[in-house]
Amino acid sequence: MDTSTLTLSSAAPARCPALLITAPASGQGKTTLTAALARLHTRQGRRVQVFKCGPDFLDPHWHQLASGSAVHSLDLWMTGEADARARLHAAAQTSDLILIEGVMGLFDGSPSAADLAQLLDIPVLAVIDASAMAGTLGALAYGLQHYQPGLRWAGVLANRVASARHAELLQAGVRADSHWLGAVARIQLDTAPAGQAGPREAALLPQRHLGLVAAQELADGMQRLDAAADALAVTPLGQRSWQDWQQWAVDFAPPPAGAPDSAPDAAEAMGPWLAGRVIAVAQDAAFSFVYPANLDCLRAMGAQLRFFSPLAGERLPTCDALWLPGGYPELHAQQLARQTALQADILAHWQAGKAIWAECGGMLALCEGVTDKDGQWAPLWGLLPGKAQMQKRLAGLGMQQLPTPWGLLRGHSFHYARLDSSAEVQGRSSRPQASATPDQGELLYRHGSLYASFFHAWFASHPRAVAALLGARENSENRGD
C-alpha cells in the first residue's frame, strides 16, 4: 500500500473483514498466530493487509513475509486517529482481509489496543497461552470480553495446547458467548538439530534482547510460517468458511476532510522541504529499525532515497544527508569496525557540514565503541564522542515526545544501551502527559551537523522538524516562527 498518497476526505466507507488480535499480556503468541493467520489466507489466494498496534520494528517483518505487503503502525497517540482511519480505509478498498496485531495486553497503555478496537468497531480475537491452565481460560476470556464495555468480541483462541484432552478441558471452561475458536498445539518444525532424531519443538519465532529475530535473518522463515499456518488450519478458526468471515466485516470510514493528523501542531502539513535533496539510508541487519511510513514521509517531502548496506561494505552514496536508523550494531560491531572506507566517507560527509540523523543503534555505530553485557569492548566509527554500554535490563522503554528547535516530534524509546557522551545536549524527550515527577527521557545530542538520540521518531508527527534534522535550510519558514 502506497501511503505517501493518503489523503483526508469524506469518501464513502469501505467494508472489509477485520480482526484485532490481542492477548492478556506479551509472550502469549499473538505475533505468531497473527502471522499464521495472514499466511493461511494468503496461501488461499486472498489479499491480506496486516497492521501493528504501537511502535514496533520487528514483528512487522514476520507479518510482511506472511502477507507479502508492507506493515504499518497504528497508534492513537503516536500516529494519530486520522492517520489510522486513512490507512485502514485505504486498506479496506484493496484487501480481502485486514489483521491488526495488538501490543502487550489488550488494555495496556493509554490509549490501548482496546481503545483503537472500540473506536473503530473492530472485532477482538484473544490469543491466550493455555499451556499451564484448563478451565481458567474461560475466566480470562470472559474478563477480556467484558472489562471494557462496548468492545466487539470475536472469540478466544487457546495457544500452546498439549493434547486433545487438554483442549477439551479448555473448551469446557469457555462460555458460549465468549466464542471458542479452537486450540493451537505446540508447533514443531520438521527439521531436527544434528544428531537428534525426529522433529524438534521450535522456538518458532526466536527472540533476542530487543524482541523477535527479524524474518529476513532466517533462511527458513517461510517454513516456520507455514508450520504455524498448518497448525492454525485445523482449528475452528482456520476452518471457517469465507462467508462466515463476513460477520467480522467493518465499515472503515476515512477521516473527514480537514481532520487534524498526528502532528502536535494541527496546522502542520506535509511540504516540499526536502525537494531536490538526496538522503542516504543505511539498511541491513545492523540498521533495520525503519517504519515504512517514515520512508513515505521523506519521499512526500521531495527527497530521493539511496539505500546502502554498511555490513556488505558498501560506500556512502553521493548524498546531501545521511540517516542511520536503529538496529543491532552491537551484534555486528566487529564487522562494522572493519568498514574503514565507509567510516572515512561518513567523516568526510560530516566535515563538509552535511547533515546526519542517527537514531538509537545508528547513534551507537557512530560512537567510539560499545561494551557488551559480558564486558567485552568493541570499537566503532568514532565520529560521536562517547562510549556505549549494553545493559542486562532495559534502559529505555515507552512512548516519548521530543522538543526540537523546529517543533515537537512524537515517537518512542526501546533500548538496552547507555551512552556516556560529551557532545552538546540539544534537548530531552519526555513521556506523553508526564507527571510532576521529573522525567529523564532521551537526550538529543548535537555534534556539528550530526544530531543523534536513542529516540525513534515518527516522521509525520512533525515533517518540518525531520527535514531540518536532515539539513533542510534553517530559516524562519522552516522553524514555523
Band the pLDDT of 134: cuts 50, 70, 90.
very high
DSSP run (H or E) holding 97? strand 97-101
pLDDT at 2: 45
In this predicted structure, the answer to whether residue 29 has a pLDDT above a threshold of 70 is yes
In this predicted structure, the answer to whether residue 293 has a pLDDT above a threshold of 90 is yes
In this predicted structure, the answer to whether residue 209 has a pLDDT above a threshold of 80 is no
In this predicted structure, the answer to whether residue 151 has a pLDDT above a threshold of 90 is yes
Name the more confident of 25 and 201.
Answer: 25
CB atoms within 10 A of CB 165: 10
What's the whole-model pTM score?
0.88
Q: Which three cell numbers stand for residue 427?
A: 534537548
Distance CA 298, CA 311 (A): 24
Give the pLDDT mean for 151-177: 96
Pick the closest to residue 43 from 239, 226, 237, 198 (CA basis).
226
Distance CA 424, CA 385 (A): 10
Band the pLDDT of 220: cuts 50, 70, 90.
confident
In this predicted structure, the answer to whether residue 241 has a pLDDT above a threshold of 50 is yes
* DSSP symbols for 286-331: TB-B--HHHHHHHHHTTPEEEEE-TTTTPPPPS-SEEEE-BS-GGG
Considering the four listed CATH numbers 3.20.20.140, 3.40.50.150, 3.40.50.300, 1.10.760.10, the one that applies to the domain covering 3-252 is 3.40.50.300
Distance CA 354, CA 469 (A): 10
| DSSP state, residue 3 | G
Band the pLDDT of 259: cuts 50, 70, 90.
low
pLDDT in tens, 39-97: 999 999 999 999 999 988 888 988 999 999 999 999 999 999 999 999 999 999 999 99
Fold matches, 3-252 and 278-479: yes
Domain range summary for the chain, segments of one domain joined by +: 3-252, 278-479
Query: Rg for the chain (alpha carbons), in Å?
Result: 23
Amino acid at 475: N
pLDDT at 6: 58
pLDDT at 480: 39
Band the pLDDT of 267: cuts 50, 70, 90.
very low
Name the 3-class secondary structure at 240. coil
Residue 125, phi then psi, degrees to nearest 5: -110, 120
Residue 192, phi then psi, degrees to nearest 5: -125, 150
Average pLDDT, the chain: 88
Query: For residues 470 and 273, is the Cβ–Cβ distance under 8 A?
Result: no
Give the pLDDT mean for 20-47: 95
Band the pLDDT of 400: cuts 50, 70, 90.
very high
CB atoms within 10 A of CB 110: 11
Name the 3-class secondary structure at 120. helix
Extract long-range pairs of 185-190: CB within 8 Å, 24+ residues apart: 185/160, 185/161, 185/231, 186/131, 186/160, 186/161, 186/162, 187/32, 187/227, 187/228, 187/231, 188/227, 189/220, 189/223, 189/224, 189/227, 190/223, 190/227
In this predicted structure, the answer to whether residue 436 has a pLDDT above a threshold of 80 is no
pLDDT at 197: 39
Query: For residues 218 and 193, is the Cβ–Cβ distance under 8 A?
Result: no
pLDDT at 11: 80
Domain 278-479 in CATH 3.20.20.70: no
Q: Which three cell numbers stand for residue 216?
A: 529476513
pLDDT in tens, 409-433: 999 998 889 999 999 999 999 988 7
Question: What b-and-e string marks burial along 254-271, b requiring 16 or more CB atoms within 10 Å of the CB?
Answer: bbeeebebbbbeeebebb
Distance CA 192, CA 71 (A): 32
pLDDT in tens, 356-379: 999 999 999 999 999 988 889 999
Distance CA 58, CA 418 (A): 21
Look at the block and give the residue holding cell 532495559: 394
Look up 360 and say whether it is catalytic. yes
Query: For a pLDDT cut of 90, what percent of the chain falls above it?
Result: 75
- Considering 16, 53, 360, 367, which one is annotated as catalytic? 360
Name the 3-class secondary structure at 12. coil
pLDDT at 8: 47
Name the 3-class secondary structure at 8. coil
pLDDT at 200: 40
Pairing of strands 384-390, 417-420: antiparallel
Amino acid at 245: W
pLDDT at 396: 75
Query: For a pLDDT cut of 70, what percent of the chain falls above it?
Result: 85
Name the 3-class secondary structure at 421. coil
In this predicted structure, the answer to whether residue 394 has a pLDDT above a threshold of 80 is no
pLDDT in tens, 439-454: 578 999 999 999 999 9
